[in-house]
């Protein structure tokens, strides 16, 4: 039986400081985040106790892999909405809190954008005259440098990792037709003779391996990082590095919703039961082939000798998913209502891509961006390599509302704007992020540190007291609201918890 897919998104934003003599991206990222957290009452720092990014899902640890403690001088904050906001390498990164369904993922991903936009405003008040920050929610600088948007899915530890790899790879390669954020040109060393003026995704150019632990070089389509941030005897967290950052709410909804569903199907061995295997002959080459195929007509070869287009393979996945839903239900992906909405939109988007991709100009990022770029190119008689088109590509992703081209594209909204504002400070109610966020709202001055699976209290006497949260679906509003309402101090809370 598939387990509930607890979900999260981590986004590294692109950043530049303009007008500075030394445009250092690490300093710029720190300035940005510091400006934001300085306006909050008190910053609670991240606790690295349980970070093991070098652990591999295939069952071994890599020599020399270290938790990011080497960078602890960098800004690293936990927010009252349960999110983590920090400097990762040379980028500001926002990790959503744990979410129990895809609606919350879309909500907190958008709240993240708003937090970054507010950070840019806050930084503008503290920067010297003539300097300003530009922050983009994209994944490439157009010059061969990429930074990631990572999805996280809670999975059953008992599942053989090789089975995940086998059945999720074809979905990762072919879902690009609706997850892509679009990009002018290519950054791949070779395109196999294809003239790439525009492609579906930001990221396809950067994947060189099928399976592996890396995220920064020789990037694999299936990442093996094994760091569950919860009970590792019961769970694994599938860390997905292959996707684009989406501006479109519909695209984020489908990216995470369809993938959660496919992963549930894998947990219930649905592909094997249905006698279906879409294993690709050459996944890495197919990633690019799909991304370069704006016409959605080029078939990719399967290991069994067949070939089909990405669109055809997505129809096959949807067909299997529908049968799965009928037979097994949709409890693992947020219940029937949410799961059926994923299925309904999945079908709608595939039908649109089949009949006329331009009909999805209000739903999909790559289509919206393509229309803008093609329209602008025609109006001004520009060549495809014009810097104006490259600028337009970048500016689609600008987090500043006054500069964002996404904000002008008339995209369909799934969220009430007021709920996004609330999610900047309020945690989701149906995961342990609720406990984390509520404790931070009330007792930030008594919290020494927090991370995904614990909150550490400092009550002014030794030792510090750690409240473990090894179950992502405990510590919800239903579990702890009454308890939190009945205590008047963190000491009382800890007594009641027996910590």
When asked if residue 410 is in the footprint of other proteins (CB under 8 A), the reply is yes
**Shortest distance in whole angstroms from residue 66 CB to other proteins:** 15
**Shortest distance in whole angstroms from residue 351 CB to other proteins:** 6
When asked if residue 280 is in the footprint of other proteins (CB under 8 A), the reply is no
- Are 170 and 213 spatial neighbours (Cβ–Cβ below 8 Å)? no
88 labelled catalytic: yes
Q: 131-170 burial, b if ≥16 CB within 10 A, otherwise e?
A: bebbbbbbbbebeeebbbbbbbbbbbeebebeebbbbbbb
- Going by C-alpha positions, the residue among 419, 418, 454 that lies closest to residue 436 is 454
When asked if residue 71 is in the footprint of other proteins (CB under 8 A), the reply is no
* 338 or 431: CB nearest other proteins: 338
Residues 100-119 that bind other proteins (CB under 8 A): none
- Going by C-alpha positions, the residue among 18, 31, 162 that lies closest to residue 90 is 31
**Shortest distance in whole angstroms from residue 282 CB to other proteins:** 24
Q: Of residues 22, 56, 63, 88, which has the active-site annotation? A: 88
- Are 165 and 242 spatial neighbours (Cβ–Cβ below 8 Å)? no
**Shortest distance in whole angstroms from residue 246 CB to other proteins:** 17
* 138 or 431: CB nearest other proteins: 138
When asked if residue 97 is in the footprint of other proteins (CB under 8 A), the reply is no
When asked if residue 405 is in the footprint of other proteins (CB under 8 A), the reply is yes
Residues 13-42 that bind other proteins (CB under 8 A): 14-16, 18, 23, 25
x/- track of binding to other proteins for residues 282-321 (CB under 8 A): ------------------------------x--xx-xx--
* 35 or 411: CB nearest other proteins: 411
* 184 or 439: CB nearest other proteins: 184
When asked if residue 384 is in the footprint of other proteins (CB under 8 A), the reply is no
**Shortest distance in whole angstroms from residue 12 CB to other proteins:** 4
Residues 165-224 that bind other proteins (CB under 8 A): 215-217, 219
* 267 or 393: CB nearest other proteins: 393
x/- track of binding to other proteins for residues 342-381 (CB under 8 A): --x--xx--xx--xx-xxxxx--------xx--xx--x--
From candidates 99, 256, 394, 469, binder to other proteins by CB under 8 A: 394
* 141 or 426: CB nearest other proteins: 141
When asked if residue 391 is in the footprint of other proteins (CB under 8 A), the reply is yes
x/- track of binding to other proteins for residues 424-463 (CB under 8 A): ----------------------------------------
* 89 or 479: CB nearest other proteins: 89
* 405 or 447: CB nearest other proteins: 405
**Shortest distance in whole angstroms from residue 353 CB to other proteins:** 12
Active site residues: 88
Rule CB under 8 A: which residues touch other proteins?
Answer: 12, 14-16, 18, 23, 25, 88-91, 93, 134, 136, 140-143, 145-148, 150, 215-217, 219, 241, 312, 315-316, 318-319, 322, 340, 344, 347-348, 351-352, 355-356, 358-362, 371-372, 375-376, 379, 387-388, 390-392, 394-395, 402-403, 405, 408-410
């Amino acid at each position: 039986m598939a387990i509930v897919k607890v979900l999260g998104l981590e986004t590294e934003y692109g950043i530049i400081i303009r007008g500075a003599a030394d445009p250092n991206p690490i300093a710029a990222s720190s300035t940005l985040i510091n400006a934001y957290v300085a306006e909050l009452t008190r910053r609670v720092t991240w606790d690295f106790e349980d970070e093991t990014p070098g652990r591999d899902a295939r069952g071994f640890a890599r020599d020399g892999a270290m938790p990011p403690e080497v960078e602890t001088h960098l800004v690293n904050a936990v927010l009252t909405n349960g999110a983590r906001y920090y400097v990762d390498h040379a980028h500001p990164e926002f990790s959503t809190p744990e979410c129990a369904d895809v609606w919350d993922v879309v909500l907190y991903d958008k709240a993240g954008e708003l937090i970054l936009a507010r950070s840019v405003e806050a930084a503008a008040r503290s920067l010297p005259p003539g300097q300003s920050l530009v922050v983009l929610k994209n994944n490439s600088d157009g010059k061969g440098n990429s930074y990631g948007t990572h999805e996280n899915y809670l999975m059953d530890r008992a599942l053989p990792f090789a089975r995940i790899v086998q059945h999720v790879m074809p979905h990762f390669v072919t879902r690009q037709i609706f997850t892509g954020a679009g990009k002018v040109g290519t950054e791949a060393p070779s395109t196999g003779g294809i003239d790439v003026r525009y492609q579906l995704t930001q990221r396809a150019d950067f994947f060189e391996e099928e399976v592996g632990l890396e995220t920064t070089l020789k990037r694999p389509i299936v990442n093996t990082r094994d760091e569950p941030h919860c009970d590792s005897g019961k769970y694994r967290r599938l860390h997905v590095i292959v996707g684009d950052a989406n501006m479109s709410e519909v695209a984020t909804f489908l990216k995470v919703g369809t993938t959660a569903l496919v992963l549930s199907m894998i947990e219930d061995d649905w592909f094997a039961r249905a006698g279906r295997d879409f294993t690709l002959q050459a996944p890495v080459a197919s990633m690019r082939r799909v991304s370069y195929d704006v016409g959605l007509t080029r078939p990719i070869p399967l290991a069994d000798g067949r070939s089909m287009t990405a669109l055809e393979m997505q129809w096959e996945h949807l067909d299997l998913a529908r049968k799965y839903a009928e037979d097994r239900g949709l409890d693992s992906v947020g219940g029937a209502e949410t799961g059926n909405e994923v299925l309904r939109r999945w079908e709608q988007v595939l039908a649109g891509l089949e009949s006329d991709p331009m009909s999805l100009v209000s739903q999909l990022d790559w289509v919206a961006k393509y229309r803008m770029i093609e329209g602008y190119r025609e109006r001004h008689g520009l060549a495809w390599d014009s810097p104006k088109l490259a600028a337009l590509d970048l500016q689609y992703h600008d987090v500043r509302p006054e500069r964002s081209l996404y904000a002008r594209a008339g995209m369909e909204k799934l969220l009430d704007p007021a709920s996004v504002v609330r999610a900047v400070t309020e945690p989701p109610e149906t995961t342990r992020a609720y406990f984390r966020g509520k404790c931070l709202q009330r007792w930030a001055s008594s919290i020494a540190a927090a991370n995904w699976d614990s909150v550490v209290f400092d009550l002014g006497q030794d030792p510090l007291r750690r409240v473990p949260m090894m179950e992502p679906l405990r510590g919800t509003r239903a579990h702890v609201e009454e308890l939190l309402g009945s205590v008047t101090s963190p000491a009382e809370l800890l007594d009641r918890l027996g910590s």
